[in-house]
Amino acid sequence: MAVTSNIVILTGAGISAESGVNTFRDRNGIWSRVRLEDVATPEAFAAHPGRVQKFYNQRRAQLPSVKPNPAHHALVRLEQSHAGSVTIVTQNVDDLHERAGSQNIIHMHGELNRSLCAACGASAPHRGDLSIDSECASCGAIGRLRPDIVWFGEMPYQMDRIYDLLRDCDLFLSVGTSGNVYPAAQFVQEADRHGAHTVEINLEPSLGVSDFAEARHGKAGTLLPTFVDEVLSGQYRF
Ligand code: BV8
């Protein structure tokens, strides 16, 4: 292991599952109840803004009632005690990493608690419901505020920074993601190509499991605290 090693952790919906947040592609996941084409594309928002706002209002309203679980807390311990850098790149739009206490987080698919103005591009913290009549505090436009979420067909956030981190990391850890959504599903290949050790922690093998050097299957709330203990004690070498 390098003396000060860099760690990148990609997280997905599975890390929040034990907190009570729905995943997307499991049997009872969000996409079993609603078609992503109807709520998570710019075209859906243009055609049915009220339906899309309602979908995200419901998910935003759930956030205060859920709490970070042992998997989120384990990543805080890792960030606080690891000698090198620890960066969480999350696909999740919830705020559980922040509420657990992690500091170094990239929300590549946006955040439920932020709004984005389609007129002026301002992104701002937002609590409570958004409606088709909401007013932008920056430019005053009415009816142009949307959730600050990266929809299918849109460019995820901070891609240049993420690829720099992947090229420089010594350990790439993927937690709770099925490997269905690009570009996140390709990060393991990028990290591997640049010499990182790669590990998957997921309830079941993801679509990309064969790309990882190592995989541990089971609940993140159980496996991740153990994995972090191994890394911090020096027992786990990469
Ligand atoms: C882009 C909105 C260009 C937010 C989300 C064909 C047509 C059109 C587009 C494409 C196409 N083919 C490919 C694309 C690109 C497209 C894409 O990937 N489509 C897929 C469907 C094929 N991607 C894009 O459009 C992206 N933009 O590509 O821009 C570009 C070009 C070059 C370089 C860069 C970019 C934009 C993607 C936007 C994604 N936005 N939704 C929202 O409403 O929340 S994606 C949605 O899926 C969620 O946001 C989530 O973040 C993401 C990933 O899902 P997962 O987190 O993996 O969740 P999932 O339910 O699938 O899996 C959960 C896993 O956890 C399971 O494996 C389960 O077993 C496990 N689990 C459960 N419980 C536990 C557990 N594990 C551990 N412990 C547990 N307790």
The CA 179 to ligand 1 mean position distance, Å, reads 7
Question: What residues line ligand 1, using a CB cutoff of 6 Å?
Answer: 12-14, 17-18, 23-26, 29, 40, 91-93, 109, 149-156, 159, 176-178, 180-183, 202-204, 206, 219-220
pTM, 2 dp: 0.97
The CA 10 to ligand 1 mean position distance, Å, reads 12
Residue ranges and CATH numbers for the domains of the chain are 1-21+68-109+156-238 (3.40.50.1220), 24-65+115-149 (3.30.1600.10)
Question: Which residues partner with 217 through β-bridges?
Answer: 202
Please tell me which residue in 72, 109, 126, 197 is annotated as part of the active site: 109
Annotation marks residue 109 as catalytic: yes
Return the residue matching tokens 């153990």: 226
| pLDDT (tens place) for every residue of the chain, 238 residues total | 555 799 999 999 999 999 999 999 998 999 999 999 999 999 999 999 999 999 999 999 999 999 999 999 999 999 999 999 999 999 999 999 999 999 999 999 999 999 999 999 999 999 999 999 999 999 999 999 999 999 999 999 999 999 999 999 999 999 999 999 999 999 999 999 999 999 999 999 999 999 999 999 999 999 999 999 999 999 998 8
The CA 142 to ligand 1 mean position distance, Å, reads 30
Cα–Cα–Cα angle for 185, 190, 196, rounded to 5 degrees: 115
Collapsing DSSP states into helix, strand and coil, what is residue 165?
A: helix
